[in-house]
Amino acid sequence: MAEATRDYTSSVLSAADKQFLRDLPTCACRQVDGQAFFLCHATPSDLLYEYRPPDSPLWERDEEVSSGADIVLAGHTHLQFARRLVKRTVVNPGSLGQSKAGDPRARYAIWQDGNMELRAHEYPVEKTVEKILSLQVADEIKRDLVHILRTGTVP
């Protein structure tokens, strides 16, 4: 699915759009309310692609790129969690689409008054399904994407 949707997206983006995306940073560090945040798509050791589950002992490592961070915000797995470790808290806010939590709600995190809160919210899944069905990708890719959107589970 990832390859098919990547290929489709690449076919509809302009050269300027692709350059804009190439120029985006792969991680970011921010100070908020006296807390150091490290943000990445996947994990500090593999910013874009590593699939690290919530209970992985690898989250315990003090990885150089995120060293000193009080909170690591990561994603990629679409599995929402917050895990307090000795030196930091690791948070995956979840996914605004393609949830892997067993239901289709959009998942996200809110940082407010020094606290991280994980939330889930209903959204118009069928509008997204309509858009998926209009894509020029193979029918089996559409079927699997629609399944994930509607159920929050991988077929």
Segment 27-68, tens digit of pLDDT: 999 999 999 999 999 999 999 999 999 999 999 998 999 999
- Calculate the average pLDDT of the chain: 95
What's the total number of domains in the chain?
1
CATH number, position 144? 3.60.21.10
Rg (C-alpha) for the chain, rounded Å, is: 17
Kindly report whether the global pTM for this prediction surpasses the value 0.75. Answer: yes
pLDDT in tens, 6-20: 999 999 999 999 999
pLDDT of 10 reads: 96
Instruction: Tell me the residue range of the domain where 27 lies.
Output: 2-151
SS3 for 19-84 is HHHHHCCCEEEEEECCEEEEEECCCCCCCCCCCCCCCCHHHHCCCHHHCCCCEEECCCCCCCEEEE
Given a contact cutoff of 8 angstroms between Cβ atoms, the answer to whether 135 and 88 are in contact is no
Tell me the three state secondary structure of residue 132: helix
